[in-house]
Amino acid sequence: MSIFAIGILSVLFIMIFVIAVRLVLAMSSNVKTGQFVREQLAKRIEQFRFGKMLEKRGVDKAKMIHQVPLTEIEQQIHHCQECNETKRCDDVLQEQSLDEQVITFCPNSASIAKQTWT
């Protein structure tokens, strides 16, 4: 094998190594960013009645955040923010347990009922 071929192979090896290292670093950064976004979303859920409603329905919020598209959760938070039934919601959340019939007024009742995040 000539010196020229060894030089080309060495350069290719170094390039592949650099690309592999950068790929691992990018994936690590992406995982950290995803974790941060999910933590922030969990905090947002707790700020609204939506968090209390999930808790009353026995929903594991951590599982939900990892299994449901984040845009869908954001939409559910938005529904809760825009809801006009806050007094009724507060009254219902005071009850011991909730079944699907009690929360039919909730704009998120269908999505909460269909999920298996418990």
Contact 79, 108 (CB under 8 A): yes
Strands of the chain (E only): list them: none
Confidence class for position 57, pLDDT limits 50, 70, 90: confident
Residue 15 pLDDT > 80? yes
Residue 21's domain spans which residues? 3-114
How far is the C-alpha of 13 from the C-alpha of 25, rounded, in Å? Answer: 18
Looking at per-residue pLDDT, the higher value among 115 and 50 belongs to 50
pLDDT single digits (tens) 90-110? 988 887 676 666 778 889 888
What is the 3-state composition of the chain as percent helix, strand, coil, each rounded to the nearest 5? 75, 0, 25
Number of domains in the chain: 1
> Model-level pTM?
0.71
Q: What is the pLDDT of residues 63-91, one digit of tens each?
A: 999 889 999 999 999 999 999 989 988 98
